[in-house]
Amino acid sequence: MDDAHMHGPSPPTSNGTAATTMQKHHSLMHMTFFWGTDSLILFSGWPGTRPGMYALALVFVFVLSVLVEWLSHCNLLRDGSKDVGAGLVQTLMHTIRVGLANLLMLALMSFNVGVFIVVLAGHMLGFLFFRSRVFKKSSHSGKTTDLPPMSC
């Protein structure tokens, strides 16, 4: 049995041709890495086909990845804070960090090489500024971050 018959018949479309629908679907949804400005990132129809909107989408994804790194390594709570308010702030920060990290993962699922590069660059720059030894203060307290490291 060949591959075309293993998946069953294609559903009918409004104009009667399943091949036309498949061609439109394949032009928008990539399952391998590709270069190009014509892609869907996070939202239907966004960034569209205009290169300026694609650049804006890349800037947005870059900022999200830097923000995830900042949240992963920030110290907003006072040392020794063990009250309910501090716990709620820590929980909210964790929730925002996980939500943003999942948005980045969904953006990466566009399989666009430009998105992949800016996510890596954002994480790299965020780590450089907020965690690396380059910008670290010489005095080291016992507390390194408000949130535990992310793990899978």
Amino acid of residue 119: V
Of residues 77 and 107, which shows the higher confidence score? 107
For 39, the token pair is 């892609």
pLDDT tens digit string along 24-44?
444 556 777 778 777 788 878
Q: How confident is the model at residue 51 (pLDDT cuts 50, 70, 90)?
A: confident
Q: Which of 70, 71, 66 is nearest to 120 (CA)?
A: 66
Look over the chain and give the mean of its residue pLDDT values, rounded to a whole number: 78
> For residue 11, how far is the Cα from the chain centroid?
32
Q: What pairs with residue 112 in β-bridges?
A: 34
Q: How far, rounded to the nearest angstrom, does the alpha carbon of residue 78 sit from its chain's CA centroid?
A: 30
Q: Given a cut of 50, is residue 125 above it in pLDDT?
A: yes
Whether the full predicted model's pTM is greater than 0.75, yes or no, is no
Is the separation of the CB atoms in 146 and 76 below 8 Å?
Answer: yes
Cβ distance 55 to 127 under 8 Å? no
Would you say residue 21 has pLDDT above 80? no
Average pLDDT over residues 66-78: 88
Lowest pLDDT segment from 4-18, 35-49, 60-74, 86-100: 4-18
- Tokens standing for residue 123: 């994480």
* CA distances for 22 relative to 42, 71, 76, 135, angstroms: 21, 41, 50, 51
What is the distance of C-alpha 91 from the center of its chain?
A: 20
Q: Which residue do the tokens 């907003």 mark?
A: 76
Determine the pLDDT at residue 25.
Answer: 45
